[in-house]
């Protein structure tokens, strides 16, 4: 019996026994498979795959993906430093950030690639590095996310330089002798090939205005199917329309642009699972709900609370044997009414019970699809709960600890008592 896509019941029980709960488990085989799938993205004139490390920035994962040939997309100067500390050479790291790092000069001098995301960032870079090349992030006026919180293109998004301000970009570049060699756009996490084609062409329209551009970076994730009833993106279908657009551009403009993509969730989402323990089972009477309380929650998986995101949930009994099924709401350990793992789809205010075997203290609950934007985006240390450990399930079946469980001493080490 399989508890989630990559964990058997026996493995869940072994994790619970050997590492305690809660614990995040990542599957090496899934990471390798997804990385190779991304590296096979159709392209016309060359491809660079940059892993969007904000999805899951653990050093062991960065090293593994780098060993498979992936470069890194960093969203802050701190992520750059984290990647370098994990052993990623600076020249494999690209920085595209809302906040300009205070140590930008040191990072650029070390060899990272930089995309200016605003006119102010562009001018600051020009003052520090006149006469050099860089990338610019353009908001093409359209996005592809499945909701406003995952759509980072279009008029409601602050990301990038609005496309009608390209003349100002050119003026600033001329003032500092800058050459724009990369146009970067980021459209969100959608899966519609028609939208991707339109965004690619809008991005190429922007690239056509920069004579030195050699690379088009189409940032934005590929929609991942976490739930059985969801349909994930077909990267080959999307890649084919993008490839056609690049070929059309080459024929019209005489320039063969290298393509860059920035998958995050596509690589790691379904390679991760949160194993939690059942710490209580309560109900609110015959007309109410049954609740499974687990020893994890928004401190580990925040997406349901803010997006109404859906994750597969499996109850793994501590012992074998048949049990009746009931409808349960699964809730976290935080003193917060929003710490619910079973919201209605797309509605964090709504509730949607799951049908699960009868829960008992000591059982395990496995939250699937927890590889992306879970440990990286959780409410760490809320209610002073420690950060969960992380374990890598190796392809040979070994379980390797890659992050220790946080202690109270770790949590408080930078506090000063007066």
What lies within 8 Å, CB to CB, of 293 at 6+ separation is: 278, 279, 280, 281, 282, 331, 332, 333
Alpha carbon distance 115, 200 (integer Å): 18
Our measurement of the distance from residue 255's CA atom to the centroid of its chain's CA atoms, rounded to an integer in Å, reads 32
Instruction: Count Cα neighbours of 282 within 13 Å in the Cβ-side half-sphere.
Output: 7
Look at strands 343-344 and 347-351 and give their pairing: antiparallel
| Spatial separation of the C-alpha atoms in residues 218 and 242, rounded to whole Å | 9
CA distance 163 to 149: 21
What burial class does residue 86 get, using C-beta atoms within 10 Å of its C-beta: 0-12 exposed, 13-18 middle, 19+ buried?
A: middle
Angstrom distance (rounded) from CA 344 to CA 230? 15
d(CA 57, CA 63): 10
119, 172 Cβ separation under 8 angstroms: yes
Marked catalytic residue, from 253, 334, 335, 379 = 335
Neighbours of 367 (CB within 10 A): 27
Element (H, E) at 137: strand 133-139
CB 180 within 8 A of CB 121: no
What token pair was written down for 319? 């012992």
Does 199 qualify as catalytic in the annotation? Answer: no
Tokens describing residue 377: 């985006």
Phi/psi of residue 161, each to 5°?
-90, 125
Active site residues: 335
């Amino acid at each position: 019996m399989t508890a989630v896509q990559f964990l058997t019941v026996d493995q869940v029980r072994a994790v619970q026994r050997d590492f305690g709960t809660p614990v995040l488990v990542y599957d090496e085989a899934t990471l390798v498979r997804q990385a190779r799938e991304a590296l096979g993205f159709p392209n016309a004139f060359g491809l660079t795959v940059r892993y969007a490390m904000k999805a899951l920035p653990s050093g062991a994962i960065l090293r593994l993906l780098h060993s498979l040939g992936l470069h890194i997309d960093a969203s802050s100067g701190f992520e750059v430093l984290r990647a370098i500390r994990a052993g990623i050479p600076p020249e494999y790291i690209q920085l595209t950030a809302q906040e300009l790092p205070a140590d930008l000069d040191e990072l650029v001098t070390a060899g990272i690639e930089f995309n200016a995301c605003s006119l102010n960032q562009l001018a600051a870079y020009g003052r520090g590095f006149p006469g050099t090349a860089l990338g610019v992030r353009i908001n093409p006026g359209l996005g592809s996310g499945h909701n406003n919180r995952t759509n980072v293109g279009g008029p409601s998004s602050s990301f990038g330089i609005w496309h009608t301000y390209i003349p100002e970009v050119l003026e600033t570049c001329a003032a500092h002798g800058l050459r724009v060699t990369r146009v970067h756009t980021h459209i969100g996490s959608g899966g519609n090939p028609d939208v991707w084609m339109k965004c690619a062409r809008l991005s190429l329209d922007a690239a056509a205005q920069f004579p030195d551009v050699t690379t088009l970076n189409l940032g934005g994730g590929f929609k991942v199917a976490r739930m059985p009833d969801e349909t994930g993106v077909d990267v080959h279908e999307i890649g084919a329309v993008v490839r056609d657009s690049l070929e059309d551009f080459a024929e019209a403009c005489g320039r063969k642009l290298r393509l860059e993509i920035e998958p995050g969730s596509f690589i790691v989402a379904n390679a991760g699972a949160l194993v939690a323990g059942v710490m209580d089972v309560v109900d609110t009477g015959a007309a109410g709900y049954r609740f499974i309380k687990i020893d994890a929650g928004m401190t580990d998986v925040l997406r349901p609370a803010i997006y109404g995101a859906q994750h597969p949930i499996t109850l793994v009994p501590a012992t074998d044997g048949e049990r009746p099924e009931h409808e349960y709401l699964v809730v976290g350990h935080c003193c917060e009414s929003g710490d619910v793992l079973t919201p209605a789809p797309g509605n964090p205010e709504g509730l949607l019970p799951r049908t699960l075997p009868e829960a008992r203290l000591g059982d395990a609950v496995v939250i699937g699809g927890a590889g992306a934007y879970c440990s990286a985006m959780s409410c760490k240390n809320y209610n002073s709960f420690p950060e969960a450990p992380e374990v890598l399930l190796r392809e040979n079946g070994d379980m390797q600890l890659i992050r220790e469980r946080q202690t109270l001493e770790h949590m408080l080490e930078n506090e000063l008592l007066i």
